[in-house]
Structure 1
Amino acid sequence: MEYDLNDIVEMKKEHPCHKSKYWKIIRMGADIRIKCQGCGASVLFPRSEFEKKCKKVVQRSQSSLE
């Protein structure tokens, strides 16, 4: 799966805030930080764990389209 900074991704499990499955990637490196689109909470995952829990990329950022 290919993903980039500021992409919106769908995770396998819902966040308990507003039952939102959609997250925005806000930091990439060895770890990936994602921000809930429902409540704004952020979570840091090791890259391997993020790739297991990520279902698909819903929306690509403008920079990844170029």
Structure 2
Amino acid sequence: MPVKLEIGDIVELKKQHPCGSKNFEILRTGADFRIKCLGCEKQIWLERPELERRIKKINPAG
């Protein structure tokens, strides 16, 4: 069962980005996800299984 992720959710990943931040905002959902690092604003494309494996915690939007 896929994890319920929506645009605007903030996810904390297990490993940090090179800038030092672990928090990312979801910008696009589907088979591929676009996430934005909240530390340096860099945008990254990940496939759904890869993102689901890396997620440590989900903070819902709103």
Compute the TM-score of the two structures, normalised by the length of structure 1.
0.84
Structure 1: gaps (5+ residues) = none
Which protein shows a greater Rg? 1
The 5-angstrom pairing of residues 1-66 of structure 1 reads 1-17=3-19, 19-57=20-58, 59-62=59-62
Structure 2: gaps (5+ residues) = none
Point out the structure with the larger helix share.
Answer: 1
Compute the TM-score of the two structures, normalised by the length of structure 2.
0.89
Name the % identity: 45
Aligned residues: 60
- C-alpha separation between the residues in 1 aligned to 2:32 and 2:23? 18
Runs of 4+ residues deviating >2 angstroms: none
Point out the structure with the larger strand share.
Answer: 1
